[in-house]
Amino acid sequence: MKLFQCENCGQVLHFENTKCERCGYKVGFEPMSLQLRSFKGNERRYCKNHEQGVCNWLVNPESSTTLCKACELNHYIPNVQDADIRKNWRDLEFAKHRLVYSLLRLQLPLNSKSVEPESGLWFDFIDPDQVVPDDAETMTGHQGGKITLSLQEADPAEREKNRVNMKERYRTLLGHLRHEVGHYYWDLLILPFPHRLKSFRAHFGDESNDYGQALKNHYHQGPPPDWNRHFISAYATSHPWEDWAETWSHYLHLIDTMETANALGVSTSPRVEDQASAMAMVADVDPFLPIDFDSFLEKAVALTYAVNSLNRSMGQLDLYPFILNPTVKQKLTFIHNLLLEVREASSPGTGLI
Ligand SMILES: [Zn+2]
Ligand SMILES: [Zn+2]
Ligand SMILES: [Zn+2]
């Protein structure tokens, strides 16, 4: 993500800030410009969910809408009487807003199902301990443009327990959302286009294999022993759709992390012999431009080596506990090129912003 600054006093701000701690101005995120705006009075209008403490985005003051670009994607939200439930919902919203930032940054089609019933997107944040609506799921997943996330996943203890039980290296709310939205964009960007479907199958395999059976087999037998030579995660081996969603989520992980590193001016030059040049990196690429993607990935790998080492110094899990093998790199490149093509098609001749 970008770094943001207070427009009034220059203080560096976080994406989630609602107020500048230095000058006291109100702060809100404007999705049109992808900027944080500083303001004093009522000249800008917050999303209605600002009252709930879960959103700092702005809505167009001229429009009659009350919810922002990110919150209008909500279908079901939990009943938030209880402080714990409110906190869990807030954590889900913070992750969702970061997801929506990336989708807007990538200029991907993004409309609420309330506006586009066929091709739009909805989020159901479901608390399985409350009364679940008849047309809602309780399991985390995606179905026809509806992404369900169980509120239980927002409980850190629950999530860590699930991570260990599922033998996962990484489990976060943002990771869930990036994965599930990958399924949504597969339906939207791959399925209707025969030339894309053909290249998809060349990279990820034939998705017409029985999905339910494939998942059953995966949970029963586990991944093939050499999975990390061809896949980004063990779960990606279960079916081409899951491989796609896992790889898609990693594409978003990597471009967001590198955008942040670029904004911070991060570079590394390890003081070791022999391997120093392979491990050195300068975060000077904007992943949203048509870049040399191989070199981007090399820099990303060097960066993750550095940040993983820092995390280990603090006794934390690795920031990025994954290996980008050559096959995964090809899959990521396929996604990168696809997204360039989609952006070109949506704004021909205008280039990329
Ligand atoms: Zn300020
Ligand atoms: Zn909002
Ligand atoms: Zn999935």
Note the pLDDT of residue 319.
96
**Per-residue exposure over 75-106, b if at least 16 CB sit within 10 Å of its own CB, e if not:** bbbbebeeeebbebbbbbbbbbbbbbbbbebb
Nearest ligand to residue 179 Cα:
3
- Tens of pLDDT, residues 178-229: 999 999 999 999 999 999 999 999 999 999 999 999 999 999 999 999 999 9
Distance 44 CA to ligand 3 centre (A): 38
The one-letter amino acid code at 303 reads: L
What 8-state DSSP symbol labels residue 327?
A: H
Q: How many whole angstroms separate alpha carbon 299 and alpha carbon 283?
A: 7
Taking a 5 Å cut-off on Cβ, the residues next to ion ligand 2 are 47, 49, 55, 57, 68, 71
pLDDT over 90 (residue 348):
no
- Tens of pLDDT, residues 95-116: 999 999 999 999 999 999 999 9
- Tens of pLDDT, residues 7-35: 999 999 999 999 999 999 999 999 999 99
Nearest ligand to residue 17 Cα:
1
* 3-class DSSP assignment, residue 168: coil
Backbone angles phi, psi at 268, to 5 degrees: -130, 145
Which sequence spans correspond to the domains of the chain? 4-65, 70-188, 193-353
Note the pLDDT of residue 242.
98
Strands 146-150 and 122-126: parallel
Average pLDDT over residues 283-312: 94
The one-letter amino acid code at 176 reads: H
Tell me, yes or no, if the pTM score tops 0.85: yes
- Tens of pLDDT, residues 57-67: 999 888 889 99
- Tens of pLDDT, residues 252-266: 999 999 999 999 999
Taking a 5 Å cut-off on Cβ, the residues next to ion ligand 1 are 6, 8-9, 11, 20, 22-23, 25
Nearest ligand to residue 28 Cα:
2
How would you class 311 by CB atoms within 10 Å of its CB: exposed for 0-12, middle for 13-18, buried for 19 or more?
A: middle
Nearest ligand to residue 249 Cα:
3
The one-letter amino acid code at 148 reads: T
Note the pLDDT of residue 279.
87
322 to 17, 67, 111, 272, 308: CA distances (angstroms): 31, 37, 32, 23, 10
Say what percent of the chain tops pLDDT 70: 98
Name the residue with tokens 């093939």: 224
Distance 173 CA to ligand 3 centre (A): 14
H-helix or E-strand containing 297?
Answer: helix 293-313
Four-CA torsion 163, 166, 167, 168, nearest 10 degrees = -50
Nearest ligand to residue 50 Cα:
2
How would you class 251 by CB atoms within 10 Å of its CB: exposed for 0-12, middle for 13-18, buried for 19 or more?
A: buried
pLDDT over 60 (residue 282):
yes
Helix ranges, the chain (H): 83-105, 156-165, 173-185, 194-204, 211-221, 240-264, 276-279, 293-313, 326-346
Note the pLDDT of residue 306.
96
- Tens of pLDDT, residues 113-158: 999 999 999 999 999 888 999 999 988 999 999 999 999 999 999 9
| Cβ-Cβ contacts under 8 Å for 292 (sequence gap 6 or more) | 285
> Which band of pLDDT confidence, cut at 50, 70 and 90, is reported for residue 313?
very high
H-helix or E-strand containing 101?
Answer: helix 83-105
pLDDT over 50 (residue 352):
no
Distance 263 CA to ligand 1 centre (A): 19
Note the pLDDT of residue 351.
47
Alpha-carbon dihedral sign for residues 90, 92, 95, 99:
negative
Average pLDDT over residues 77-94: 93
Note the pLDDT of residue 349.
58
Distance 341 CA to ligand 2 centre (A): 30
Q: How many whole angstroms separate alpha carbon 204 and alpha carbon 333?
A: 13
Average model confidence (pLDDT) across the chain: 94
Q: How many whole angstroms separate alpha carbon 325 and alpha carbon 311?
A: 22
